[in-house]
Amino acid sequence: MSAVPPPRPKVLMVSPMPEWDIAPMREAYDLIDLPADGPEGLGLVSEITALVTSGGRGADAALIEALPALELIAVYGVGYDKVDLAAAARCNVAVTNTPDVLTADVADMALALTLALARRIVDGDAFARSGAWRKESMPLTGSVSGRKIGIVGLGRIGEAIGRRFAGFDTEIGYWNRSPKPLSAWRALPTPSALAAWSDILVVAVAGGGDTVGLVDAATIAALGPDGLLVNISRGTTVDEAALIAALESGTIAGAGLDVFRNEPAIDPRFSRLGNVVLSPHQGSATVATRQAMGALVRANLAAHFAGEDLPTAVIRRLG
């Protein structure tokens, strides 16, 4: 008589993933899509031991508490600000994320937005396509090389942004919550002091309750009328109402934004501004990086179900 195979783990898919991840995951697990009205109607809630979610969607306390057998939340992203870590810890649920593998692409996006904004690449494209060039020259633009770049949040991505800007013969300053004694760059004591020193302020700090509105109206104003703001972190870290007011009034010169308060239904006033470059949260959205992120999600799931140490744990289970 052949042995009965062990039951396949049931994994709740809170956010979609590409087929190149889904196919290998289906070989090992029963994947269950989260219904729009929540997990209650699934009939399987007591059997789900892991869930996979995106950084943008996360997992709130209600979802975590609705899954009594949950052991692991695997985030397909580095930011876990939408995961209720207190609820996860209370329910003894491990949380993993996908650090490092996306750092380069997100840092590249910060540079791309800065260059597009300062050199008016998007306007130039429209100018060339429209034929306006036949009649006149496009207005002059601003430099990036040689300017002062301020980085809010010198974590993995912030550091990578600094290294890239260093190649543009810029001066680099930063504000970071904790001291960075090994950094050769100039530390400023507050985000506002950093903005006052900077020509271009790049926000790379983590999202979450503690950093909501960290870049506030005073910090934005301190950049001055020639200043540019670039945000690749989270829409919450910049006071968006104050930013829009500053862009409308000319308090600052422009903004390059990959993240917004109310994604994907962004504030319609952004569409009417001529001094912004907008990107629909594309920081990590390359094929190579998404494949590496998916591989890391799968490695965390595999390690968990094999009883091995989690490769990239944010919090581990006790016992």
DSSP string of 68-133?
A: TT--EEEEESS--TTB-HHHHHHTT-EEE---STTHHHHHHHHHHHHHHHHTTHHHHHHHHHHTGG
Active site residue 234: yes
Q: Which residue, 44 or 314, is less far from ligand NAP as judged by CB?
A: 314
Q: Which residue, 119 or 177, is less far from ligand NAP as judged by CB?
A: 177
Tell me how far, at minimum, the Cβ of 289 lies from ligand NAP, in Å: 9
Tell me how far, at minimum, the Cβ of 39 lies from ligand NAP, in Å: 26
Active site residue 269: no
Q: Quote the tokens at residue 198.
A: 């900077």
Catalytic residue among 263, 272, 308, 316: 263
Burial (0-12, 13-18, 19+ Cβ within 10 Å), 291: middle
Contact between 262 and 285 (Cβ < 8 Å): no
Tell me how far, at minimum, the Cβ of 30 lies from ligand NAP, in Å: 29
Count of C-beta atoms within a 10 Å radius of residue 80: 24
Q: Which residue, 60 or 210, is less far from ligand NAP as judged by CB?
A: 210
Tell me how far, at minimum, the Cβ of 281 lies from ligand NAP, in Å: 5
Bridge partner residues of 228 (DSSP):
200, 254
Q: Which residue, 70 or 232, is less far from ligand NAP as judged by CB?
A: 232
Contact between 195 and 225 (Cβ < 8 Å): no
Contacting positions for ligand NAP (CB under 6 A): 78-79, 99, 102-103, 106, 153-158, 176-178, 204-207, 210-211, 232-234, 258-259, 281, 283-284
Using CA atoms, how far apart are residues 267 and 302, in angstroms rounded to an integer?
40
Catalytic residue among 281, 290, 298, 304: 281
Residue 185 CB partners (closer than 8 Å, separation 6+) = 151, 154, 162, 172, 173, 174
Q: Which residue, 169 or 210, is less far from ligand NAP as judged by CB?
A: 210
Catalytic residue among 234, 290, 298, 304: 234
Tell me how far, at minimum, the Cβ of 94 lies from ligand NAP, in Å: 18
Using CA atoms, how far apart are residues 256 and 252, in angstroms rounded to an integer?
12
Active site residue 27: no
Contact between 305 and 9 (Cβ < 8 Å): yes
Q: Which residue, 49 or 97, is less far from ligand NAP as judged by CB?
A: 97
Query: Among the residues of the chain, which ranges form H helices?
Result: 19-28, 61-65, 85-90, 103-118, 121-130, 156-166, 191-197, 217-223, 240-249, 287-305
Tell me how far, at minimum, the Cβ of 219 lies from ligand NAP, in Å: 13
Active-site residue set: 234, 263, 281
